């Protein structure tokens, strides 16, 4: 063991990985355990900056090849082993289409670039469920690797400008300040960029880098101050673990200062070799043992829990403990037979090229193998699997036209016209993606009756006048409010024969984001908001038809059916009891509100999906949903006759 070894840092690693694992394994008492990743970032900044500055001071230069060789020996073998093992296990658990999708994630993870892939994924409202991606946790490793490529150059630039600590402190400080300011701003505007984009996480590494420049002598001479700051640091980390949450805490942003500052204080205290208080606690043997395994534990814990919950959706606590035991066993194997032997291999350590050349070859092999797996998984699909994949991917009529279903950030409405050409009469379709999936049968029905359909659609933006919390943006969805009011004005100005409204049921939105921030008066606010929207059209002399939301499923239907067929089961295993899926109680409230408004009609298509007891997902040979709560377009096409009947045969459409 190196003389410079810091047991408190090993203990900090244990604290970080324990928080992350506990959070991902569903320990609700630690809702902020995800901030353990931020602890890792600060530790990396502290250790790498110190190492590089010492080498610059002693040798006047950096041996970058040797530096990258150490990083390659440390990180690459274990990560590639876990990636390949996860892909092999996925063959028996995932449907072919999932295997293809997640193999692409593995490809980006192998190249340490999955964070960029996830940024694009995060802004796609219709993207596959990120929680099922067994490689998503590699985003933090990608951020770290990108840090390793940029940071040495920054320190060399500082030394070239003016040797000494002051220039380095200034350079790191400016970099950290800019990174923090931009990241804090983007957290409130486009949170996925702030979360995944490595330059906007640089301030956390910079905080660790600045901490390494504090003189250790200062802390050695003031042990009581060091111990007090260490207790404060531990309290800050505990506060983040206990009080932060993914849904309620805009993150990283300003909130990330809490775990980062806590880690910095513990690192500063430990630099003075304080042997009491938190530093002594972090040096305890159990934490040292977990700290040594922290990298392997981080790599294994996520695919284990993801695959377990895929196979057993309602995984019990004994089941989760079994997953923890499996994670530990896999981590011990990886640490003892892959990670540590390769990291300490004398032949590889003797020459940088001996480590880097195999590293480049392994990385290339990983990218090629994962890309090939993505192609092979769907190269010769069973016809039923191909139909499911194509069905789920087919957009609605409105969404197939670029820009007709607006994204989160767009505020200015865009009206899109469909249906009968040169028709004098029009129908307006207004709402969120749950209005959009009715566009396919509505446009066909309108065309048959010589109407055009004009759409005002925006992702996750309900027609009811209700300000909602966006789990994607981690803040109030103010863009929705602005878009809605302008759209209502435009629709009234158009004077359509009918305004068709649909939106996700409030019950379904709660199921979709059970931990989302909600006010005590949300039900009343929604009822008032729905009434206000309906009355705005009614008072303008327009007729309104409100289509009840479709049933909500506990799992991604396309995925569930594809897995069932892959395992030799029938699609009916994915059906749900009506009491769970149909949201009948909320629909009754909704129906009463609509019927109380003059010129408003309530349309209920639930019997197309459900009988008295069961809501089906595979109906007359067609997949009914593309995910958990959006209709699949081929099935939506079959609903044109009942939609036409409900609108044109009952007099709902005005003349």
Global confidence as pTM: 0.86
Q: Are 589 and 548 in contact (CB under 8 A)?
A: no
pLDDT value of position 355? 86
Among the listed ranges 216-220, 223-227, 263-267, which one has the minimum average pLDDT value? 216-220
pLDDT of residue 505: 94
Q: What is the pLDDT of residue 123?
A: 67
pLDDT at 2 (0 to 100):
55
Q: Nearest CA to 292 among 327, 234, 339? A: 339
Mean pLDDT of the 631-652 span: 91
- Between helix 317-334 and helix 64-93 the angle, nearest 10°, is 140
Distance CA 403, CA 458 (A): 10
- What span, in angstroms and rounded, lies between the C-alpha atoms of 479 and 472? 13
pLDDT of residue 540: 96
In the structure encoding, which two tokens stand for residue 473, read together?
Answer: 């943006």
pLDDT digits (tens, 9 = 90+) for 154-212: 999 988 888 888 899 999 999 999 999 999 999 988 888 999 999 999 999 999 999 99
- 498-502 and 544-547: which strand pairing? parallel
For range 102-108, the mean pLDDT: 92
Cα 354 to Cα 70, 146, 359: the distances in Å are: 11, 22, 9
Residue 12 has pLDDT above 90, yes or no: yes
CB 84 within 8 A of CB 369: yes
SS3 521: coil
Element (H, E) at 476: strand 475-476
Q: Using the structure block, give the residue that is written with the tokens 């109906």.
A: 619
State yes or no: pLDDT of 607 exceeds 70. Answer: yes
pLDDT tens digits for 417-459?
A: 998 778 889 999 999 999 999 999 999 999 999 999 999 999 9
Band of the pLDDT at 517, cuts 50, 70, 90?
Answer: low
Q: Which residues contact 467 (CB under 8 A, 6 or more apart)?
A: 476, 477, 478, 480, 481
pLDDT at 645 over 70: yes
Distances in Å between the alpha carbon of 178 and those of 171, 172, 184, 202, 404? 11, 10, 10, 9, 36
- State residue 378's pLDDT score: 81
Q: Distance between CA atoms of 132 and 303, rounded to whole angstroms?
A: 9
Backbone angles phi, psi at 600, to 5 degrees: -110, 140
pLDDT at 654 over 70: no
Alpha-carbon distance of 463 to 429, in angstroms, equals 10
CA angle 384, 388, 394 (to 5 degrees): 140
List the Cα angle 192/291/74 in 5-degree steps: 75
For position 216, what pLDDT does the model report? 76
């Amino acid at each position: 063991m190196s003389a410079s070894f810091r047991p408190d840092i090993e203990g900090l690693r244990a604290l970080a990985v324990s928080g992350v694992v506990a959070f991902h394994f569903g320990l609700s008492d630690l809702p902020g355990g995800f901030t353990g990743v931020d602890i890792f970032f600060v530790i990396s900044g502290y250790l790498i900056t110190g190492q590089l500055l010492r080498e610059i001071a002693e040798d006047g230069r950096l041996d970058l090849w040797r530096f990258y060789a150490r990083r390659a020996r440390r990180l690459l073998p274990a990560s590639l082993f876990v990636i390949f093992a996860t892909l092999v296990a996925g063959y028996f658990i995932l449907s072919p289409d999932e295997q293809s999708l997640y193999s692409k994630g593995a490809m980006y993870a192998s190249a340490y670039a999955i964070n960029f892939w996830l940024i694009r994924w995060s802004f796609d409202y219709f993207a596959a469920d990120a929680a099922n991606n067994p490689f998503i946790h590699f985003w933090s490793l990608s951020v770290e690797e990108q840090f390793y490529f940029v940071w040495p150059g920054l320190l060399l630039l500082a030394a070239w400008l003016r040797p000494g600590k002051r220039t380095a402190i200034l350079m790191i400080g400016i970099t950290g300040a800019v990174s923090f300011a931009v990241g804090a701003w983007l957290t409130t505007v486009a949170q996925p960029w702030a979360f995944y984009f490595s330059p906007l996480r640089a301030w956390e590494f910079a905080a660790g880098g600045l901490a390494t420049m504090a003189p250790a002598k200062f802390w050695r001479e003031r042990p009581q101050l060091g111990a007090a700051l260490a207790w404060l640091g531990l309290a800050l980390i505990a506060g983040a673990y206990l009080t932060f949450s993914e849904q309620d805490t805009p993150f990283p942003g300003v909130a990330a200062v809490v775990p980062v500052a806590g880690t910095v204080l513990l690192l500063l205290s430990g630099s003075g070799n304080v042997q009491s208080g938190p530093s002594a606690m972090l040096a305890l043997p159990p934490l040292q043992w977990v700290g040594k395994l922290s990298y392997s534990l981080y790599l294994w814990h996520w695919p284990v829990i993801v695959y377990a919950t895929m196979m057993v959706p309602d995984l019990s606590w004994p089941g989760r403990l079994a997953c923890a035991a499996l994670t530990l066993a896999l981590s011990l194997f990886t640490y003892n037979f892959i990670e540590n032997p390769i990291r300490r291999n004398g032949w590889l350590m003797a020459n940088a090229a001996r480590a880097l050349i195999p590293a480049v070859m392994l990385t290339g092999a990983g990218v090629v193998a994962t890309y090939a797996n993505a192609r092979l998984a769907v190269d010769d699909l069973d016809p039923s699997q191909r139909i499911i994949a194509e069905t789920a991917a087919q957009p609605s009529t409105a969404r197939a036209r670029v820009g007709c279903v607006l994204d989160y950030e767009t505020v200015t409405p865009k009206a899109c016209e469909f249906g009968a050409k040169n028709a004098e009469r029009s129908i307006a379709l207004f709402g969120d993606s749950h209005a959009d999936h009715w566009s396919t049968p509505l446009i066909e029905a309108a065309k048959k009756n010589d109407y055009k359909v004009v759409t005002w659609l925006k992702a996750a933006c309900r027609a009811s006048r209700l300000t909602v919390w966006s789990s994607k943006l981690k803040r109030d969805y103010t863009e929705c409010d602005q878009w809605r009011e302008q759209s209502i004005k435009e629709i009234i100005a158009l004077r359509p024969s009918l305004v068709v409204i649909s939106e996700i049921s409030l019950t379904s939105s709660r199921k979709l984001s059970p931990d989302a921030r909600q006010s005590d008066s949300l039900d009343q606010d929604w009822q008032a908001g729905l009434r206000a929207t309906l009355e705005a059209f009614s008072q303008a002399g327009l007729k309104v038809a409100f289509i009840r939301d479709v049933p909500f499923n506990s799992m991604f239907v396309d995925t569930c059916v594809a897995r069932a067929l892959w395992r030799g089961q029938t699609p009916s295993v994915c059906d749900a009891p009506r009491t769970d899926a149909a949201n009948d109680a909320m629909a009754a409230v909704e129906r009463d509100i609509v019927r109380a408004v003059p010129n408003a009609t309530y349309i209920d298509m639930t019997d197309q999906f459900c009988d008295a007891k069961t809501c089906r997902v595979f109906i007359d040979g067609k997949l009914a949903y593309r995910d958990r709560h959006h209709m699949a377009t081929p099935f939506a096409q079959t609903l044109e006759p009942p939609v036409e009947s409900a609108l044109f045969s009952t007099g709902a459409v005005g003349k």
